[in-house]
């Protein structure tokens, strides 16, 4: 059972202010009920798909200076700083 | 000048000077001006750059300089694939002003072969949706009947090709997002094997299942594009080193003597009558071409939608955590906000479908539910792969309708997410297992709406898959768009 408290908790986890949390209650519950069909599956194996990537594909650890183009379109002030809200 | 020619025909005519690239591009831009008001396939049209590039290519052709294999072919690119210098919005307010500092590998490969990026096309926000109705910039409409949805999430790609606003397009396919619009818009769309095409520069939604895929009018055009955009990329460690494969060569080999499995779970209950009869007609055509068709049961398919949305939502909630509206985004001052309050406020600008998937993702990954949902979904995924491995021991290809239903009206299902999710039943299997699948336009319903047929092959068997798709497309004669 999904209630308003649960939706607000999830909104908090994904850092989204939900202006109308009740809008999501029924839909999320309906979808989760559908996901519950996974309980009916009879598994003959506990395996999950894994892909192995070899580490020799890594690039050389060399410094590549970045150009101005990399920061050209960022939201920044006249001193080229990005303004963040205060942390505490 | 006929804008309805195929991309390959364009190349041959541009090469021998029958058509001028500048004229063709200018006429394409006029076409966009004329029809895009009704269709809304484009988010950005790069008019001046396209014309400048076309002139440059004409000059190279005239002076017999080396020209890239696309010869100035106008292509559109889904707006979740990075293009340096033009906006990549993902159809989201959260990225409405985002200009990528670099080209995606697929973009740079197209550019290096002298393709002209004519513009960026619409999608469901962050590619989450099956109808292109969840775009921040408003829905794209079906060029065959603007009251209907074009499919999605690469609806702008499918619609722009069908409406003759470009010769080809690149979309991305996470759960059917290339094949659904291909089917609904009567064009060809390929979801390649996971790892065949670089995802570098594709804005991440669900990394373990998504792939970039070409959309064009003909299978031959799709093969032509695949030659350019596929292959190992040092920037994407998940790309495979398959060596050089020419997908155009031997395209006309046919399918005589091949075995095709008809997936029982995809042609049973819940399928539209006209789609079912088109599928049966396609199966007869495949038999006429010399293939043997046998029924194949893949019972894990019944659980594929639940597994797919569990995994996709989980990956989405983690991928989208990065959007904080600090480095890029929309105007919204940080003044007076504490960090989390600012981020949460800014992120309330995600649309309803993206928000829903993030909530679901957080839920299925949370302690106490991880084993019940996420882990089981991963096991279903393994089960599907195992059943497909068994099937491909018996057959060369699998066939199904691409979409179980006909295109429906804009707004008809937009408030019923579960109903929309269930329309992906035939497409998500290829994403969960990684195998390639293609949608081929096959027929029209009595109401004039397109029906596409889907063919699957085993991993990295794109060459064979394209041969079968080409053979099937050759059996069809479909109407021209009257838009």
Q: β-strand B437-444 against B292-296: which pairing, if any?
A: unpaired
- Is pLDDT above 90 for B96? yes
**pLDDT for the residue A54:** 66
Average pLDDT over residues B206-225: 98
- Helix (H) / strand (E) containing B440: strand B437-444
pLDDT digits (tens, 9 = 90+) for B384-428: 999 999 999 999 999 999 999 999 999 999 999 999 999 999 999
The minimal CB distance from B362 to the residues A14, A30, A86 is found for A14
Chain A residue closest in CA terms to B376: A38
Q: Is pLDDT of B254 > 90?
A: yes
Residue A49 has pLDDT above 80, yes or no: no
Q: What's the rounded mean pLDDT across residues B336-360?
A: 96
Q: Tell me the average pLDDT of chain A.
A: 88
**Residue A65 forms contact with B (CB below 8 Å):** no
Question: What are B212's strand-pairing partners?
Answer: B172
Q: Sorting pLDDT into bands at 50, 70 and 90, what band is B339?
A: very high
- A55 pLDDT exceeds 70? no
Average pLDDT for residues B359-367, to the nearest whole number? 95
Residue B140 contacts residue B163 (beta carbons within 8 Å): no
**How many C-beta atoms lie closer than 10 Å to residue B332's C-beta?**
14
Q: Which residue among B339, B356, B383 places its CB closest to the CB of A27? A: B356
Q: Are A35 and B327 a contacting pair at CB < 8 A?
A: no
Chain B residue numbers touching A81 (CB-CB < 8 A): none
Q: What is the pLDDT of residue A56?
A: 67
In terms of pLDDT, which residue wins out, A83 or B426? B426
Most A CBs within 10 Å: which of B88, B101, B331, as the mutation test of the A interface? B101
CA distance B406 to chain A (A): 23
Interface ipTM: 0.93
| Res A52: pLDDT | 67
Q: pLDDT value at position A1?
A: 78
Residue of chain A nearest B306, judged by CA positions:
A35
The total of other beta-carbon atoms located within 10 Å of residue B297's CB is 13
What is the predicted pLDDT for the residue at B433? 97
The 10s digit of each residue's pLDDT in B49-70 is 999 999 999 999 999 999 999 9
Q: Does the pLDDT at position A41 exceed 90? A: yes
Nearest Cα to Cα of residue A27 among A6, A41, A42, A46 = A6
Residue B85 has what pLDDT? 92
Residues of B labelled as active-site residues: 78, 153, 177
Determine how many CB atoms are found less than 10 A away from the CB of residue B347.
23
CATH number at residue B148: 3.90.1300.10
Tell whether the model's pLDDT for residue A73 goes beyond 90.
Answer: no
pTM for the whole thing? Answer: 0.97
Higher pLDDT, B329 or B50: B50
Widest pairwise Cα distance in chain B: 72
Judged by phi (left if over 0) then psi (alpha if -120 to 50, else beta), residue B233 lies in: beta
Instruction: Look up the domain containing B174 and give its range.
Output: 1-483
Residues of A in contact with B359 (CB under 8 A): 7, 10-11, 14, 16, 24, 28
CB contact under 8 A, A28 and B363: yes
Query: What's chain B's average pLDDT?
Result: 97
Contact A1/B at CB under 8 A: no
Q: How far off is chain A from B378, nearest CA to CA, in Å?
A: 6
Quick one: pLDDT band at residue A68, thresholds 50, 70, 90?
Answer: confident
- Mean pLDDT check: name the lowest of A51-60, B49-58, B182-191, B316-325: A51-60
Q: Sort out which chain B residues have CB atoms less than 8 A from A70's CB and list them.
A: 101
Q: Which residues of A34-73 are buried (b: 16+ CB within 10 A; e: fewer)?
A: ebeebeebeeeeeeebeeeeeeeeeeeeeeeeeeeeeeeb
**How many structural domains is chain B composed of?**
1
Residues of B in Cβ contact (< 8 Å) with A35 = 306, 309-310, 364, 373
CB proximity under 8 Å: A 33-62 to B: 34-35, 37-41, 43, 45-49, 51, 53, 57-59
Determine, for residues B355 and A16 on separate chains, whether the beta-carbon distance falls below 8 Å. yes
Question: Is pLDDT at B355 greater than 70 in this prediction?
Answer: yes
Strand extents, DSSP E, B16-89? 42-45, 74-78
Q: Which of B238, B334, B376 sits opposite A84 (nearest CB)?
A: B334
pLDDT over 70, % of chain B? 100
Residue A57 in this model has a pLDDT that exceeds 80: no
Query: What number is the average pLDDT over the span B83-99?
Result: 96
Taking an 8 Å cut-off on Cβ atoms, the answer to whether B359 and A11 are in contact is: yes
Residue with tokens 């307010």: B93
């Amino acid at each position: 059972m999904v209630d308003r408290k649960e939706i607000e908790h999830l909104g908090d986890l994904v850092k989204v202010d939900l202006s109308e949390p009740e809008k999501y209650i029924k839909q999320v519950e309906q979808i989760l009920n559908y996901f519950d069909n996974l309980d009916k599956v009879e598994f003959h194996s506990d395996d999950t798909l894994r892909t192995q990537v070899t580490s020799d594909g890594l690039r050389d650890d060399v410094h590549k200076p970045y150009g101005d183009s990399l920061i050209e379109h960022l939201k920044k002030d006249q001193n080229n700083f990005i303004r963040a809200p205060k942390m505490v | 000048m006929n804008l309805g020619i195929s991309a390959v025909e364009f190349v041959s005519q541009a090469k021998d000077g029958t058509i001028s690239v500048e004229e063709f591009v200018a006429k394409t831009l006029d076409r966009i001006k004329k029809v895009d008001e009704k269709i809304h396939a484009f988010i950005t049209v790069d008019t001046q750059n396209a014309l400048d590039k076309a002139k440059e290519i004409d000059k190279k052709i005239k002076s017999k300089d080396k020209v890239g294999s696309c010869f100035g072919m106008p292509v559109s690119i889904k707006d979740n694939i990075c293009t340096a210098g033009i906006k990549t919005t993902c159809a989201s307010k959260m990225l409405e002003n985002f200009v990528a500092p670099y080209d995606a590998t697929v973009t740079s490969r197209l550019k290096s072969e002298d393709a002209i990026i004519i513009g960026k096309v619409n999608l469901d926000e962050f590619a989450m949706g099956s109808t292109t109705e969840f775009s921040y910039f408003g829905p794209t409409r079906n060029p065959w009947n603007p009251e209907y949805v074009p499919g999605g999430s690469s609806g702008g790609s499918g619609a722009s090709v069908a409406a003759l606003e470009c010769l080809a397009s690149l979309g991305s396919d996470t759960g059917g997002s290339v094949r659904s619009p291909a089917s609904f818009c009567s064009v060809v769309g390929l979801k390649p094997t996971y790892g065949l095409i670089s995802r570098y520069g594709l804005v991440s939604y669900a990394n373990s299942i998504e792939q970039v895929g070409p959309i064009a009018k003909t299978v031959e055009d799709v093969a032509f594009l695949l030659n350019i955009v596929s292959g190992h990329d040092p920037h994407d460690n998940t790309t495979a080193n398959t060596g050089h494969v020419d997908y155009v060569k031997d395209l006309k080999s046919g399918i005589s003597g091949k075995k095709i499995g008809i997936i029982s779970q995809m042609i049973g209950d819940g399928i539209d009558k006209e789609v079912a009869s088109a599928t049966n007609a396609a199966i007869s055509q495949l038999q006429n071409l010399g293939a043997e068709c046998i029924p194949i049961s893949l019972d894990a398919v019944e659980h594929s939608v639940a597994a797919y949305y569990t995994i996709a939502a989980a990956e989405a909630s983690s991928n989208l955590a990065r959007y904080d509206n600090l480095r890029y985004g929309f105007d919204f001052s940080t003044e007076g906000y504490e960090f989390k309050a600012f981020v949460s406020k800014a992120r309330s600008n995600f649309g309803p479908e993206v928000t829903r998937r993030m909530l679901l993702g957080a839920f299925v990954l949370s302690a106490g539910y991880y084993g019940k949902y996420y882990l089981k979904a991963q096991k279903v995924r393994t089960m599907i792969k195992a059943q497909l491995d068994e099937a491909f021991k018996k057959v060369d290809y699998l066939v199904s309708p691409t979409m179980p239903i006909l295109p429906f009206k804009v707004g008809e299902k937009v408030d019923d997410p579960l109903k929309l999710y269930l329309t992906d039943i035939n497409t998500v299997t290829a994403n969960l297992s990684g195998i390639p699948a293609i949608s081929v336009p096959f027929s029209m319903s009595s109401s004039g709406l397109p029906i596409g047929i889907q063919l699957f092959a085993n991993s990295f068997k794109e060459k064979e898959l394209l041969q079968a798709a080409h053979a099937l497309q050759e059996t069809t004669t479909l109407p021209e768009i009257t838009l």
